[in-house]
Amino acid sequence: MEEESITLQHAGSIMLQHAGSITLQHAGSITLQHAGSITLQHAGSITLQHAGSITLQHAGSIPLQHAGSITLQHAGSITLQHAGSITLQHAGSITLQHAGSITLQHAGSITLQHAGSITLQHAGSITLQHAGSITLQHAGSITLQHAGSITLQHAGSITLQHAGSITLQHAGSITLQHAGSITLQHAGSITLQHAGSITLQHAGSITLQHAGSITLQHAGSITLQHAGSITLAP
């Protein structure tokens, strides 16, 4: 199939109310330049099979209310440059199979309210540059299978409220550069299987309130450079 590109330049609002399934099979590039608001209310399934690059430049707010399943199979690069707020309210399952690189440059707030399962299978690199706040409220399970590198540069606050299980299987390196506060409230189990290196450079405070079990299986090196306070409340 000959590669084609999809380009959308839009300065207003985009609203989609849909109760069926949305399927996009595309081998080119998708570029969205948008300065308004994007609202998606959807009760079916969203499937995206894409082999090119996805670029989203957006300066407004993106509210996503979805009760079905979201499946993304992607072999290219995903770049998100966003200066507004991203809100995801989702009650189904989110599955991401990705073999390229994921880059998120974001200066606003990211809020995720999710009651299903989140599965990420990724073989590339994940880079998150974020200057706002990240809030995750989740009652299901989070599974991350990753063989590349994860880099998080963050200057705001990260809050995780989670009542399920978190499983991380990772064979690469995890680097966290953070100057704000990290708060983790968790009532389930956290399992980390890791064979690479974990580096944490942090100048703020880390608070962990946990009522379950924490299991760490690690065959590499763990380096913690920290200039603030670490509080652990069992």
Question: Tens place of pLDDT for every residue, the chain, 234 residues?
Answer: 334 554 555 555 555 555 555 555 555 555 555 455 554 554 555 555 555 555 555 555 555 555 555 555 555 555 555 555 555 555 555 555 555 555 555 555 555 555 555 555 555 555 555 555 555 555 555 555 555 555 555 555 555 555 555 555 555 555 555 555 555 555 555 555 555 555 555 555 555 555 555 555 555 555 555 455 544 544
Look up the domain containing 146 and give its range: 43-233
Alpha carbon distance 190, 202 (integer Å): 21
* The length of the chain, given as a count of residues: 234
Position 2 scores a pLDDT of 39
Structural domain count, the chain:
1
Please check whether residue 213 lies inside any domain of the structure. yes
Please check whether residue 10 lies inside any domain of the structure. no
Q: What is the 8-class DSSP label of residue 127?
A: E
Please check whether residue 7 lies inside any domain of the structure. no
Please check whether residue 53 lies inside any domain of the structure. yes
Reduce the DSSP state of residue 38 to 3 states and report it: strand
Alpha carbon distance 186, 211 (integer Å): 7
Position 234 scores a pLDDT of 47
**Full-model pTM:** 0.34
Position 3 scores a pLDDT of 44
Alpha carbon distance 13, 59 (integer Å): 12
Position 149 scores a pLDDT of 57
Alpha carbon distance 149, 126 (integer Å): 6
Position 81 scores a pLDDT of 53
Reduce the DSSP state of residue 227 to 3 states and report it: coil
Please check whether residue 68 lies inside any domain of the structure. yes
Please check whether residue 22 lies inside any domain of the structure. no
Position 1 scores a pLDDT of 37
Contact 71, 44 (CB under 8 A): no
